[in-house]
Structure 1
Amino acid sequence: MISGETNSCSILTDLVNDILSRLPAKSVARFRCVSKLWSSILLRPYFTEFFLTRSSARPRLLFAVEQEGDDWCFFTSPQPKIPDDEELSLEVTADCQMKFPGGNTCLEFCGRASDLIYLCPHISEHDQCIIICKPSTGQFTSLPIPKECNRRSFWRSFLGFDPIGKHFKVLSIGDLDADEKRCQYQILTLGTGNDSWRKIHCPLNHFPSSEGICINGVLYYLAEYSAEQRDGTCYMIVCFDVRSEKFKFIYRDFISYRDNTELINYKGKLGVVTWEYDCHTCTMRSLTLCLWVIKDAEEPESSKWSEYVYTIWESQFDGCDVSTFWGNPIVGVTATGEIVISTEDASKPFYVFFFNPERSTVLSVEIQGFRAANHGALQQRSRMVRVFVDHVEDLKFITM
């Protein structure tokens, strides 16, 4: 009899875990408040890992929308798959996950690692703090900026994740002495209970010139440096190992700091993509993408690269004018290899396009829900939208 009761309890527990794992992370976070028992169940490593596994099988699109008053609003929607039939146009409604009030601080978007979003004050706002938020649970926390940051210095920060040690780290680089062009490199580790910055050594003086992207525990970003053998400023890709806190550097002729250059995660490897707009005739315009993918991520300094070139015609963008992509149209690449392109203004009809390189097809997805969430305020003036592909919800909460 006892054995039967044990089996029944086990089946009931598995059933509850299965049901709860199908819910959005924000709903699960609310259920933690039901009771201590529910909180203990939902915080068990087995359930959090089970939830993450199931969430990974249904990746979503994440949208960070700038609003009035320097506020930020975060939305998610299902990430469509390119259908096998001829239907290449869809409509998807995005759900609001959380709103973050900027207040009197001019917050700028700095990056993402795992499911955490990193916001920092404008370069002139040196007396403010850094914000780490988790849209899937509605959680956020603040971090102090490095003490050395003052109104004479320029600084840039990145958020990285160590998948082995399970630690998030913030890398901050400050151009503290403009005359000598000397930079300082500092690290802050989340989850240790210590919010103190510590200095680290970098063998090559450099200052970032782009946002960063974290792939398999390595943080990549474009940076400028001075080379004695070459006149003027040169550009490279910096590879920062989040776990070992060591730097490596990639020098290639195709690396340059231009508005049309983006670092992307291409199926788990670093990719560099550039784009150009071609006007063949008054009625025929296209977008040309050049993609370089590193072959050996373990030896980035000496690795060879694969190169691809794609042309997408304006007619494939479901009637959208390619001129609307002049800002930064490349969102990223899905795990299945679709290159994702988007418009940037939430005050206008907003589109995300999935380009399949193998079939040369484009899936056009209109994203709805931005305006309704802010009662039409987004229509007053243009509002920037940042889009992220393959967003996976994680139940691990932010700890300091």
Structure 2
Amino acid sequence: MKRVRKSKKREENDENDSNDPFSIIHLELKVEILMKLPPKSIGRLGFVSRHWSSMIRSKDFTELYLTRSSTRPRLLFSVYRPNMQMQFFHSCSQEDPSSDHHKVSYTLNSDLKFSFSPPIRGLIFGRNGTKAMIGNPSTGQFVSLPRVKTSKKDILSIFGYDPVNDQYKVLCMTIPIQRRIPGMYDMMPWEEYHVPMSEEHQVFTLGPKQKWRMIKCKYPHGHYSGCVGICRNGVLYYLASYNNKRSLINFDLSSEEFSVTKLPEDDHIQEYGNLVNHTGKITIVSQSQTYNGPLYIWVLEDASKEEWSKVATVTNLFGKDEIVMFRGMLRTGEIILKPLPVPNPFFFLCYDINEKSTRKVVIEGIGDDSAASIQVFFDHVESPMFLPKVK
């Protein structure tokens, strides 16, 4: 019988496992110890031994860590510094931004500024042209995806999680780039805008040997440049033009089928609506392009019946000379506003609709570079998840 010879690396791993001082500790106690560590430290422990690696990379451990992290949402900042060709990710406690700071950095292969979509279960998706990546900003691990199958097109990408099949997916749509005549669209009412229809719809599923797959859409629609989609309960939502009306497009990540929800007959939403996830419901907040007018807040009460309710109109937030941009909403229901231009030190404002009060949140060390490009994400959940290599 042929004797199987162990490799030197495997023998070293076996020896490390046997000499592991933590091997005598009960599994439940090990898990409790790991739960108190930041994801970046947990990722390093995964290289100590096969035992630690199998425990840390298990689905049960990741889900447990995510569940506990969800009770302590964080602020996540993506900071691109062009002079360093570096993308920095900085997170801090949402309740007390002055404490518990975590930082990781990612070195770009070239002078590319990646635009990132809101994080999903601790992971984040970034794209620059046809280049795309998925990363875990808590551990500093990023994987490059295959190039998007298109060229010379305007691209909309939305990242989400399918709980039915336990998969992370990216929906990508492309439309022909339309030449813009300076000043033309500023003088036209919204309903006369011509929004080109999406020509290609593709899906990427995170995993080894995965590629972009073309899918069909029964509802011809056109998205808008700069549009940001959100994911809730396995469905992607984004605003688009359907039958010459601004509508809410829904994409079920499990069935990979599209559907359409009508928006309220409100001029403010039709022209300036922003999509957010507010208290577990799909919400649209509209703000004029001057960034100093009132905010209108609509909530989708029943998607199947296309029922919307106007829950608030926020006026007279600040003086007429103050310019603030709507950036999102917290789980608490507070509205997030970012002053323009970007202040130094960096700060944003939280407005409580019910109390009609405002608090200022200052983040030191973020806006100290005038050339830096900053994206802010709220209710971020840290994850120790290890990303599979994409071939």
User: Do both proteins adopt the same fold according to a TM-score greater than 0.5, normalized to the shorter chain?
Assistant: yes
Deviation at 1:256, TM superposition (A): 4.9
1:190 to 203, 206, 212: 206
1:265 to 277, 287, 297: 277
- Distance in 2, Cα, partners of 1:150 & 1:137: 32
Deviation at 1:156, TM superposition (A): 2.0
Q: What letter matches 2:93 in structure 1?
A: P
Could you report, residue by residue, the CA deviation over 1:164-203 in whole angstroms, capped at 9, with x for unpaired residues? Answer: 2111111111225979956121111112x33222221211
- Distance in 1, Cα, partners of 2:141 & 2:230: 22
- Distance in 2, Cα, partners of 1:20 & 1:270: 35
1:391 matches 2:380: yes
- Residue ranges of structure 1 left out of the alignment (5+ in a row): 1-8, 82-89, 123-127, 228-232, 280-285
Query: What aligned pairs does 1:15-94 form with structure 2 within 5 A after superposition?
Result: 15-69=29-83, 71-80=86-95, 91=98, 94=101
Find the counterpart in structure 2 of residue 354 from structure 1.
Answer: 350
Query: What aligned pairs does 1:309-320 form with structure 2 within 5 A after superposition?
Result: 309-311=313-315, 313-314=317-318
- Distance in 2, Cα, partners of 1:389 & 1:181: 31
Superposed CA RMSD: 3.1
Q: What letter matches 2:358 in structure 1?
A: V
The answer on whether the counterparts of 1:287 and 1:314 sit within 8 Å (CA) in structure 2 is: no
Deviation at 1:265, TM superposition (A): 0.4
Deviation at 1:11, TM superposition (A): 7.6
- Distance in 1, Cα, partners of 2:343 & 2:313: 32
- Distance in 2, Cα, partners of 1:56 & 1:181: 38
Find the counterpart in structure 2 of residue 136 from structure 1.
Answer: 138
Q: What letter matches 1:199 in structure 2?
A: M
For the residue of structure 1 that corresponds to 2:138, the secondary structure is coil
Query: What aligned pairs does 1:143-222 form with structure 2 within 5 A after superposition?
Result: 143-147=145-149, 149-151=150-152, 153-175=153-175, 181=197, 183-191=199-207, 193-209=208-224, 210-222=227-239
1:287 to 1:397, Cα distance in 2 relative to 1, 3 A: farther
For the residue of structure 2 that corresponds to 1:75, the secondary structure is strand
Find the counterpart in structure 1 of residue 251 from structure 2.
Answer: 240
1:307 matches 2:311: yes
Deviation at 1:107, TM superposition (A): 2.8
Find the counterpart in structure 2 of residue 3 from structure 1.
Answer: none
- Distance in 2, Cα, partners of 1:181 & 1:273: 25
- Distance in 2, Cα, partners of 1:238 & 1:309: 24
Q: What letter matches 2:347 in structure 1?
A: Y
Q: What letter matches 1:269 in structure 2?
A: K
- Distance in 2, Cα, partners of 1:357 & 1:45: 39
Query: What aligned pairs does 1:96-111 form with structure 2 within 5 A after superposition?
Result: 96-101=103-108, 103-111=110-118
- Distance in 1, Cα, partners of 2:282 & 2:289: 24
Find the counterpart in structure 2 of residue 117 from structure 1.
Answer: 124
Give the TM-score of the pair, scaled to structure 2.
0.79
Find the counterpart in structure 1 of residue 27 from structure 2.
Answer: 13
For the residue of structure 1 that corresponds to 2:331, the secondary structure is coil
Find the counterpart in structure 2 of residue 369 from structure 1.
Answer: 365
Deviation at 1:74, TM superposition (A): 0.9
For the residue of structure 1 that corresponds to 2:307, the secondary structure is coil
The answer on whether the counterparts of 1:65 and 1:346 sit within 8 Å (CA) in structure 2 is: no
- Distance in 1, Cα, partners of 2:294 & 2:381: 30
Could you report, residue by residue, the CA deviation over 1:284-308 in whole angstroms, capped at 9, with x for unpaired residues? Answer: xx652211011124x2x62333431
1:249 matches 2:255: no
1:177 to 1:291, Cα distance in 2 relative to 1, 3 A: closer
Q: What letter matches 2:104 in structure 1?
A: Q
Report how many aligned residue pairs link the two structures. Answer: 347
Could you report, residue by residue, the CA deviation over 1:142-172 in whole angstroms, capped at 9, with x for unpaired residues? Answer: 112333x123x33222212112211111111
Find the counterpart in structure 2 of residue 125 from structure 1.
Answer: none
Find the counterpart in structure 1 of residue 328 from structure 2.
Answer: 332
Deviation at 1:343, TM superposition (A): 3.8
Deviation at 1:27, TM superposition (A): 1.3
- Residue ranges of structure 2 left out of the alignment (5+ in a row): 1-22, 179-194
Give the TM-score of the pair, scaled to structure 1.
0.77
The answer on whether the counterparts of 1:173 and 1:207 sit within 8 Å (CA) in structure 2 is: no
1:80 to 1:220, Cα distance in 2 relative to 1, 3 A: same
After TM superposition, the structure 1 stretch with the greater mean CA deviation from structure 2, 112-121 or 134-143, is 112-121
Q: What letter matches 2:112 in structure 1?
A: T
Work out the percentage of aligned pairs sharing the same amino acid: 31
Could you report, residue by residue, the CA deviation over 1:303-345 in whole angstroms, capped at 9, with x for unpaired residues? Answer: 3334311235327xxxx9732x2xxx32322222222223476
1:290 matches 2:307: no
For the residue of structure 2 that corresponds to 1:370, the secondary structure is coil
